[in-house]
Structure 1
Amino acid sequence: MASNGVAPAEGCSLFGVGYENVFERLNKVYLQDRIASRGGSAEKFVVGPFGSGKTHFLRQLMEIAAAQGFATSEVSLDKDLDYSNRLLVYKEIVRNLRMPGSSGRGMREMLAACAKNVQGMLPDPDAAEAAFQGWLNGITDHDFKLDKFARVAQKAVRYYDQQDQDGFQTACQWLEGAFDNKEIASRLGEQPVKDDELKLCASQAMFSMFQFIRYAGFKGTVVCLDEADIGFQQTSKDKIQKILALLRADIGVINDLVGGAVFFVYALTNEVAQSMMQYDALKQRIFSAPGYGFMDGNDYAALISLSTTTDREAELRKIGHRLADLLYDHAGVPLAVDKSQAINKITQIAAEIIEEDISSSSRREMTKRTSILLLNILNRGSLEAAAAVAPPEEDEV
């Protein structure tokens, strides 16, 4: 945070400020009511300039969801990940999938967590085993988006239950995206997926995975696609149109998905959001008239703008104060600088950033400068935003 001002991989909920009301609304309307209670699905687009806190926003949302029993997956749609490549996107979502209460990621962790969750639903061992076997046998009878996914997932869980590591690994490889591998398919008694069917297979497998997580008793899944502005920015106009068409199709599938219980959240810059408005079929689904945006109180607006705030300096002060609270409450050792002095310095930093007028990255800059200040307080007992470093002494000749 001190070096780059970027959100840490863990702990964003501890110091997130400025969007408490937004998270409360997303939690109630989407995580709890639509997804957990009804098994529905939805999508949102978090929009803001570089440095506006989009990554922090996504990670804080995932932490809120994970604490309530949701699976999560964070994927960076950078220039190396083509959004139009359905198989590649699926593999990344699977690779980064994390089940609640687990530090591991991926398909193997997901299947093991699902099996354990079902096995732990009843206190009596015999009743629990009977319920688990009934659940396992019923997988192929459930209405999954892709029948092949159901068959292989059933075999994978059965292998896991029987402690057949080779069989479990083979099934996991298929579920991780090796749909066209002839050897793996043969071992599982399936036909390899043809090249021209891979795109559809990957898309259906992804939604089947979300349905499976729900089928295993979890509340649902939150998928956050960060840096979508980079992933969506392509040099070819035809490629842009293809990506926007896929995005529009995904929205349709998400809204129609039965029992999927998934919440897709994309992070975009303002420029990319504007380009999306040039695609009429997509605009009709995400556009909100003035006064009807999410920040205006419309919980159902597709876009959430992070670029508007009534008092930027007060917001920056809150960021700094929250970071100071974390240090002084949890340092575990006496600090040489009194907290009131640190707060005064943080207030000064916030005013300096506003005066410098770097609005597009003011939150990131506040995070960097405050983190540097607090590290110097912790490590050097110094109330300086940047400590002077003495030049090295020359060796005597």
Structure 2
Amino acid sequence: MENEDILMALKNGNVPSKGVRDLCVGRDNEIAEFERLLDKVDDEDKAYTKFLKGEFGDGKSFFLKVIEDMSFKKGFAVSWITVSNNVPFNKIEIIYRNVAKNLRVKTGTSLEHIIDRWYTQHYNMASQDADNDFEKHAMLRERIHDELEETRQYSTTFATVIENYAKLRSEGDKEGASYAISWLRGDANIPFSVKKKFNIKSEIDKTNALGFLEALSVFIKSAVGYSGLVVLVDEVEIIRKLIRQDIREAAYDYIRLIFDNCSNGQFQSALFVFAGTRELFEDPKRGIPSYTALEERIKKEYETDLVDVRTPVFVLKGFDKNDIIELSEKLLDMHSDAYNWDANAKIGPIVEIIAENHVSNAGLTAGKVKARVFIRKFITLLDTVEQNQNHFNTPEDILEEFNGNINQVEDDEFDEFDDDW
């Protein structure tokens, strides 16, 4: 059923939960660079900020999913957040809360389970090494304290809450320990009487949220043992639509701070990837160019069509003819397997013609075909032919069906507030 599930997701305009790496064509240079960056984050505790630039439907969310899968395979913890009215980037405390809430590892576990498993491992080791309960708890406290040494250098408060979480767990206070995790996730309105249990008076706010984000990445790597933290930020173009200039600039400044802190070593063991539309990177009135402090850091010094994946901004372009042919062949194999028929025999001979026709109709995008447009139409064609095989007696019949619909793109197909690609 996996191939069928992938095909259905693609046909519906969504990014599939599996199989994206095999379907990511025309991005070999970008994938190789992210492989290299992830290895440096893991091996050298480096931190990086990258940006993905592309039109609606060009595959930004799809490529973020590829990065997510790569990160999971390399042992990273990943948090995917989508900028929206409810997740505004001008409020860093809300960004931290969503990063912590959406944190996942390959097994799907959350921040709460990550910390719980880490605590349990140390508890079990202390239980094995100690001769009595007093010695066990003393040994556990010492182990936990030592494990948090690097984290403490970034945020004493963050380390203190985890230490007291462990203390409450060892004392059997499950409610207090649960509140400690809630506080670490950025939850507000925790009663003061409860916060006293883990020796905290304040809350996570705009004054300390960035430091907590730094401490979180160090904790995940140095204490828990994952390769590092990857934060994927989708639909950043929402910032450009904010009416008030001061709010837009606050959002851009937090991105600038993250960029600077990765560059100067304040962040460790972390990779941030921001994805947005061309307008976000080019609009001089509301986009990133309107905020010089960020624009000067990420802009290209000169324009060239030659490959340079080491610049801050990756430009994701649409498909060319070769990309379409390569992807078509993959989709033919998947469709044949999913629905038990020989799609290659029926449609394989005309794939090159389909690719040429699609490219020739992409004049407004310099011959680059939008990923989502082609994939949805091609899978619809496969479904139609498979279910009506007696109707299509020749390759010309299939081409007539496909070419008759090649230009039928709905006006709202690239709804900028619902860009799942």
Paired residues of 2:25 and 2:326 also in contact (CA < 8 A): yes
- Structure 1 stretches of 5 or more lacking a match? 387-397
Match of 1:392 in 2: none
Give the fraction of aligned pairs with identical amino acids, expressed as a percent: 19
Q: 1:176 aligns with which of 180, 185, 189?
A: 185
Paired residues of 1:49 and 1:361 also in contact (CA < 8 A): no
Alpha-carbon shift at residue 229 of structure 1 (Å): 0.8
How far, CA to CA, are the matches of 1:306 and 1:189 in structure 2? 48
How far, CA to CA, are the matches of 1:95 and 1:316 in structure 2? 38
1:88–1:363 distance in 2 versus 1, CA, 3 Å: same
Q: 2:43 aligns with which of 37, 41, 57?
A: 37
Match of 1:267 in 2: 275
Structure-2-length-normalised TM-score: 0.77
1:148-205 C-alpha deviation (Å, 9 max, x unpaired):
1111122334555777532331111111113553334123221123xxx711222222
Alpha-carbon shift at residue 219 of structure 1 (Å): 0.9
3-state SS of paired residue (1:300):
coil
Q: 1:287 aligns with which of 283, 299, 309?
A: 299
Match of 2:160 in 1: 151
Structure-1-length-normalised TM-score: 0.81
Paired residues of 2:333 and 2:343 also in contact (CA < 8 A): no
Q: 1:47 aligns with which of 49, 53, 59?
A: 53
Alpha-carbon shift at residue 103 of structure 1 (Å): 2.1
How far, CA to CA, are the matches of 1:347 and 1:159 in structure 2? 65
Match of 1:306 in 2: 316
3-state SS of paired residue (1:219):
coil
Alpha-carbon shift at residue 65 of structure 1 (Å): 1.1
3-state SS of paired residue (1:198):
coil
How far, CA to CA, are the matches of 1:155 and 1:212 in structure 2? 15
Q: 1:222 aligns with which of 223, 230, 252?
A: 230
Q: 2:28 aligns with which of 20, 24, 38?
A: 20
1:378–1:93 distance in 2 versus 1, CA, 3 Å: farther
Paired residues of 1:43 and 1:251 also in contact (CA < 8 A): yes
1:210-258 C-alpha deviation (Å, 9 max, x unpaired):
1110112211111110111124431122222222222212212223345
- Structure 2 stretches of 5 or more lacking a match? 1-8, 131-135, 393-397, 403-421
* Letter matched to residue 165 of structure 1: K
Are positions 1:334 and 2:340 aligned together? yes
Residue-pair matches, total: 369
Match of 2:418 in 1: none
Q: 1:82 aligns with which of 84, 88, 98?
A: 88
Alpha-carbon shift at residue 131 of structure 1 (Å): 9.7
Q: 2:71 aligns with which of 56, 65, 72?
A: 65
Paired residues of 1:99 and 1:113 also in contact (CA < 8 A): no
3-state SS of paired residue (1:224):
strand
Matches within 5 A, 1:354-369: 354-357=359-362, 359=365, 362-369=370-377
3-state SS of paired residue (2:205):
helix
How far, CA to CA, are the matches of 2:387 and 2:123 in structure 1? 48
Match of 1:254 in 2: 262
Paired residues of 1:182 and 1:191 also in contact (CA < 8 A): no
Alpha-carbon shift at residue 113 of structure 1 (Å): 4.6
